[in-house]
Each structure stands twice: as structure tokens, then as C-alpha cells.
Amino acid sequence: MSAALLELLETSSTATETDLAATLRERTAAALGETADLLQDDDLQTALFLAYELRYSGLRGIDDAWEWHPEVLALCASIELEFEKALRERAPMPELPAPGVESVAAALFELTGADTGPSVSRYMAKKATDEQAHEFLILRSIYQLKEADPHSWAIPRLRSRAKAALVEIQADEYGGGRFDRMHSELFARTMRGVGLDATNGHYVDAVPAITLASSNMMTMFGAHRRLRGAIAGHLAAFEMTSSQPNRLYGNGFRRLGYNADVTFYFDEHVEADAVHEQIAARDLAGSLATDEPELLQDVFFGAAAGLYVDGLAGAQQLDAWTAGTSALRAVDTASLPA
């Protein structure tokens, strides 16, 4: 059905538009009905990713007007409905604390500290080959080339202390207003430093559905005011599980012989995310849950969903690497053991 979406977006004739839209609706409904696992469905996650990309950098050769076209919005809504349902059913929720800055921050630190899943960062530090390190960057590029953007949707959707806290974090993500210090730009420099193409979207076809799902989840949380609790919780959990892994990623690239041009992105995140996690846990998530206690549940849903999806993605990546195969999608089928 992602092919049907592209066919619709590429048409310039209003006569065929109606037919193509009907086909797309039909195929989307069928795909949603038939999918064994929406989080692992390449077709549905690709379609949602493409539709969302119209809201970010756009799609080459596609009219920007499609961003707000009712057919595209309806496509997003139909996938989002099932996507959110799957995340709510599957992400393991912790026991909710009382709404308060201290209690929410403490519970978030406990939740993220208990995350003892398989560790991509330890593997990267100690074992990853140069080829696996390239795959690592390709997988990360889906989000990191637009790092911080999905959470920025929440800025106009928040008020009061939570808004100020989010702006303080995001300003740092965007390099304090310096282009060459923007985290997305630092990541692009890392990619170029190992010889990869840092053009936004270049590797979309090479990554598995779960990597697209991770990015799509953030856009869904960020772009719906109703889910502002979830995007706040997501950012908190993301920042709280970031500084130590980034130290290990940096060590991995140093072990493989790369210089500061390549490792600066990771080293920068060790320091930055140690700041951000404090602000995100207390001043963003804690304040939000205190000021709007009805959002408490969603703050923890966003955190739990982020940990769950990224845990699945990490486990798949490690499984592929330890089995001696590629963690990428295109290469995956070609290099299956005979």
C-alpha cells in the first residue's frame, strides 16, 4: 500500500486522483487488517513515514500541498489508530506515582534505570566491526538527521514550566542557534566522516520497519496535542538512557580508529544529555504531570513505549550482528545463511 500512496502523491491529474485515492484507502484497510505486527510491517511503517516526511523536509518531486490533503491525513489517522493501540497494549507500564515533580522524576529514573535489555552500546564499544559501525549509523540516521524535530512539535502544545523546560532542552539540541553545533548537523558530520551519505532519507529503504516505527512513534506523539504527555515522557526516557550509551558508542568508533570528527557527536551527547535528562525528568515531565494530572498516565506511556520500541530495535540489531548477518533490510534477505 505504500506503493499506492506514492502513486497518488505522484499524480497531477484530478481525474485519476479519485481512483488512486480509493485504491489507497482499500489497500490501507486491507494491510491494517492483514498485518501480523504493525510495528514490524515494512509497508505500513514506510507509508506512515512517507506521509509524515511531508511535514518535515518534504518528498523530492512531490507537491508540498499533499501535506494537508484530506486523503493523506486520513491515511495517517487510520494507521495511527492501530499504531497507538498496539503501543498501549504492548509497552509494559510501570506503577504510576502520585503526580508531583519529585515523585514523577523519581519514578522515571527508576523506570529507565531498570532497563536492562541487550546493550547495543556495549557491543559497539567492545565488538562491532567497521561494517557493523556503518550499519549502526545508517539505522540511527533515520531519526538523528532530524534529531529533536519530532519533540519540537510539542512546544506550542505545552504551557507554563513544561514549555520553558522543553525550549531549554531543544535550544541546546539545535546548537544554541549555531548551525554547525546543531545535533542533527553533528550527526551528518559523523556520517560523512565514515564515508556515508548524510542526505536526509537516503537510507530509508535500507532500514527495518521497527526503525521507522521508532521515528514514526515520536512524530505521532509530537504532532497530536492529545498526546503531549506521551511526547514529554518519551523525551525524558530518551534523554535518561542516552549519556552512558553515547560514551560507549564514542569508545567504539575510537577503537575502530576514527578521530574526533567522527566521535564528537557522541562525546557531545554524553555531556548534553546529562543536562537534558535532569531538565526533562523534573522540569518537563514532572511539571507537566503536576500541572495537568490527567496527563500522568500518558507521560509514563510515552516513556514506556519509547523504551519498548527502541528495546525491540536494539535486540533485532544485536541478534543480526551476533548471527553474523546484516541488521539492515535490503542486505538482510540477500545474506541469509544458506
List of residues contacting another protein (CB under 8 A): 102, 105-106, 109, 113, 168, 171-172, 176-178, 243-244, 247, 268, 270-275, 277-279, 282
Nearer to another protein by C-beta: 168 or 332? Answer: 168
* Nearer residue to another protein within complex by CB, 106 or 194: 106
Enter the C-alpha cell of residue 28: 490501507
**How many angstroms separate the CA atoms of 338 and 334, rounded?**
10
Separation CA 76–CA 74 (nearest Å): 5
Q: Which lies closer to another protein via its Cβ, residue 205 or residue 271?
A: 271
Q: Let me know: does 243 contact 270? Beta carbons within 8 Å.
A: yes
Rounded to a whole number of angstroms, the minimum distance from the CB of residue 244 to another protein is 6
Kindly tell me which of 229 and 250 has the beta carbon lying closer to another protein: 250
Cell numbers for 129, please give them: 566491526
Q: How far is the CB of 74 from another protein (least distance, A)?
A: 42
Nearer to another protein, 278 or 316 (CB): 278
Q: Minimum distance between the CB of residue 250 and another protein, rounded to whole angstroms?
A: 11
Give the C-alpha separation, 210 to 90, whole Å: 14
**Smallest separation (angstroms) from another protein to the CB of 121:** 12
Written as one letter, the residue type at 132 is Q
Residue 181 or 224 with smaller CB distance to another protein: 181
CB of 285 to another protein, least distance (A): 13
For residue 61, CA distances in Å to 203, 204, 222, 290 come to 18, 17, 26, 46
Question: Which residues are CB-neighbours of 48 under 8 A, at least 6 positions away?
Answer: 75, 76, 79, 80, 83, 212, 216
For residues 214 and 295, what is the distance between their CA atoms, to the nearest angstrom?
A: 22
Q: What is the DSSP letter of 180?
A: G
Q: Output the smallest distance, CB 120 to another protein, in A.
A: 17
